[in-house]
Amino acid sequence: MKQMTSKMRKSIGLLCATALTLGATLAPAEMASAATVSAKQSEIVINGSVLSRPSAFIVHNTTYMPLTAVMQLMAKLQLHNHWNGVSRVWDVTDPQYPANTSTLRLPTVGHLTITVNHNPVVDNVIRLVRKDPRTGQFTTYVPIYYVMQLLKRLSIQNQWNGAAWTVQVGSTTTTASTDTGSVVGTTTGTSSASTSSQTSSSGGNGASSSSGTSSQGSGTSATTPVTTGTAVSVGATATVQGSGSASAAVLPIGTLPPSGLPTLEGQAVPTVTLQNQATSDAVYWQRASEAFFISAQDTSPTASASTQNTRFVTAKPGQMLYLFAYDNSHNITPSQTIWHVNSPDALITTDTVDEWSGGPNNKQQTLAYFTPTKPGIYTIQAQTGDLYSVPIVITVGLSSLQSQPFSLPTQYTGIMPLPTDLSSVAAQSDGAVTYLPYSAQGDWIPVAGTVSGSFANKVKAVTVVLNGATPAQEWDYRLPVDSSGHFGALVESPFTGNVSVSLMKNYLTLMTQSSTNFSYPIDYQVTVSGQTPSAQLQALLPSSAMDYNMSPQFTTVADTLLENSTSLEGAIAAINNYVAGDISYNNAELAPNAQYIFTDALTTWNEQLGVCENMAQLGAALLRSVGIPTQTVGGYANSAWTKPDFKDTNANDAHEWLNVWNGTKWQPFDPTWTAIEDASGLGYGITSEFSTDTTSLAATHAQVADQIATSMSKR
């Protein structure tokens, strides 16, 4: 048992931890994988002779071949090829390959690149990292479809029948491959076995999509294994000449995607038909100024104080909303204001009669009336002269919007299912929890156990707390406990070296009750190797506070908002504004001596109540659940400032907001300050003043350096 010091204070604290959707038994052989993954024997045949019989994997009807065997095949074809285990680039050398050929645009996202003569021909290939059934070592597997297309580009005919991969060299007549179709644009493949389609598009921006075909079959093959080489250590490289044996390209669990992550981390976002006929709003964000804003509300500005307000997120088609265009330093007059909306299914009219003023300098504002006719996500921008406002994004008829929910690949979430072939370890127990103290595998740590006795029906989750060598190295994951009392997962460590693993029941309750010291009853040490996750990858991890992987209820909302937005910027704003308009501020926690209650994002979403930490955590959970890296940011904020006060330590100014990765840079969003609230804390309106890096947000928010992207507040 180890005594640990909490890094949080109840009045201003923040908690981050993670979770999983599967439980597991204590017996490693019985721990099932979350993905539909099956191994099968296959053959690689050249001109009728068997070259090797590697074990392949089938995932969602797509065949993945070990890169070791593929490299051996290329060598047999007299093609020099090289695998860089650090950059994850597989390069094939062919002097006859056309120098100016177009880049293949294949239908996957991921983190492996294939090059010919060092020129990329296939980017972002999904790879599978699994233990080779023969060697027991973690090995990289690649979809056979892409390699087949590459061979065709090299004028090498090949076909796959679901069991045997046949390559024909030196003949002009061959049987057509079961994987066919153009590699550019929309492709369709046929197969005598089953096919799978993988589609990639950007978040609703009208980009074209591609579909590729891979095949598997139920045929049988000989079972004699053929050794293809020795394992390459972590981060090493393997080169295979045109002759000789191949070296195995082995990567451990936990290898990371390269720096410069894609806009949507690992996602293939379905394209949906937008009901409001919206067009891309990218130009709205590109031309926006930093000091000209829009607010929107569903209550008339002339309504009495006793008028019952409604949540802004309940806006419906046909409902008139009220817009204000304003600049805190300059007058915005109706006669000089033009309104833009990215859909023909909405009407905006300017009020030229009434005069309105507001803001810190009491400057004139322009009122307009916005009436959408169809469900959808609308982006609105005001213009005066050549000055454009920060856009405001309004969701209308959310429950009627169409979406095709998708899941963030497990390798990006920091949580993966337990392998079925872990080495045996002696079980240990603290009386309430029996657990298996597995060693780390690369930068992934297997965690498994059973909650027993009187706790079995009470404990719904177990929190895994990871502590590294320094106080700043702390992260925590939340694993669900199934109906049998089991829990288990591979969890990724955000830091390397000596790491302590602690298991706790009812972690959030304990954090609420204990603001200083508390005990970790279960604590053991592991050694973590591998690479430290990038800032973007770490900003995708769920947690006990940001528990998107345990909360399909609100991740479906995030899917819908993303798929119905016309740009990534618009999707980020839509999700930020959803939180602002849906969560009422809990004014009771502002009372003197009020106890801060640590809750998870699902609780905040269900209760529609919280303070800044809760709103930021829910926003981060929603954004991360659809692959948008998001950091929580702790610091201080005060609307009376004219420039940020980085020396502020006033507890009343303690605040939390977000940094969101937009594909190019981190941009701040504050869901709490985005909300326009009534006296009860209900958000009946929103503003664009604190969305993106505006002058207002920069002047009023002072972030604390060591409070960015942490799992806990340390103020």
> Nearest to residue 639, comparing CAs of 577, 580, 696?
696
Rounded to whole angstroms, how far apart are CA atoms 711 and 218?
A: 47
Domains of the chain: 2-27+409-534 (2.60.40.10), 35-240 (no CATH), 274-401 (2.60.40.10)
- Whose tokens are 């919280």? That residue is 610
DSSP 28: G
Q: What is the pLDDT of residues 570-626, one digit of tens each?
A: 999 999 999 999 999 998 887 877 888 888 898 999 999 999 999 999 999 999 998
Strand, helix or coil at 428?
strand
Q: What is the pLDDT of residue 542?
A: 85
Confidence of residue 387 (pLDDT cuts 50, 70, 90): very high
Least confident of 33-42, 231-240, 656-665: 231-240
Least confident of 31-40, 190-199, 395-404: 190-199
357: β partners: 364
Rounded mean pLDDT, 475-491: 88
Q: What is the pLDDT of residue 65?
A: 92
**In this structure, which long-range contacts are made by residues 310-313, counting pairs with CB atoms below 8 Å and at least 24 apart in sequence?**
310/684, 311/581, 311/582, 311/584, 311/608, 311/682, 311/683, 311/684, 312/577, 312/580, 312/581, 312/582, 312/676, 312/683, 312/684, 312/685, 312/686, 313/395, 313/398, 313/578, 313/581, 313/582
Of the chain, the percentage scoring pLDDT greater than 90 comes to 39
Cβ-proximal residues to 105 (8 Å cutoff; 6+ apart), any chain: 183, 184, 185, 210
* Average pLDDT value for the chain: 76
Q: What is the pLDDT of residue 657?
A: 96
Rounded mean pLDDT, 393-417: 85
Dihedral pair phi/psi, residue 122, rounded to 5°: -140, 115
Cα-Cα-Cα-Cα torsion 660, 664, 665, 667, nearest 10 degrees, comes to -40
Sequence-ordered strand ranges (E) for 548-653: 584-585, 609-610, 630-637
Q: What is the pLDDT of residue 608?
A: 94
- Tell me, rounded to whole angstroms, the distance of Cα 88 from its chain centroid: 21
* pTM score above 0.75: no
> Nearest to residue 353, comparing CAs of 379, 334, 371, 336?
334
Q: What is the pLDDT of residues 104-125, one digit of tens each?
A: 433 333 467 888 887 777 766 7
Least confident of 145-149, 223-227, 701-705: 223-227
Confidence of residue 391 (pLDDT cuts 50, 70, 90): very high
Report the 3 state secondary structure along 124-139: CCCCEEEECCCCCCEE
Cβ-proximal residues to 699 (8 Å cutoff; 6+ apart), any chain: 641, 642, 643, 644
Q: What is the pLDDT of residue 515?
A: 56
Rounded to whole angstroms, how far apart are CA atoms 143 and 257?
A: 17
Dihedral pair phi/psi, residue 573, rounded to 5°: -65, -40
Q: What is the pLDDT of residues 195-253, one digit of tens each?
A: 222 222 223 322 222 222 222 222 222 222 222 333 322 233 566 656 433 332 222 33
Would you tell me how many other CB atoms lie within 10 Å of the CB of residue 33?
A: 16
Would you tell me how many other CB atoms lie within 10 Å of the CB of residue 576?
A: 30
Q: What is the pLDDT of residues 298-346, one digit of tens each?
A: 999 988 777 788 999 999 999 999 999 999 999 999 999 999 999 999 9
Rounded to whole angstroms, how far apart are CA atoms 406 and 423?
A: 33
Q: What is the pLDDT of residue 218?
A: 27
Confidence of residue 706 (pLDDT cuts 50, 70, 90): confident
- Does the pLDDT of residue 408 top 80, yes or no? no
Q: What is the pLDDT of residue 247?
A: 30
Q: What is the pLDDT of residue 707?
A: 83
State the burial class of residue 656 (Cβ atoms within 10 Å of its Cβ: 0-12, 13-18, 19+). buried
| Assigned token pair, 523 | 């604590």
Of the chain, the percentage scoring pLDDT greater than 70 comes to 75
The CA–CA distances, whole Å, from 641 to 5, 638, 676 equal 34, 6, 19
Q: What is the pLDDT of residues 59-73, one digit of tens each?
A: 767 788 999 899 999
Least confident of 177-181, 400-404, 573-577: 177-181
Rounded to whole angstroms, how far apart are CA atoms 712 and 476?
A: 9
- Does the pLDDT of residue 409 top 80, yes or no? no
Q: What is the pLDDT of residue 98?
A: 61
Rounded mean pLDDT, 455-460: 66
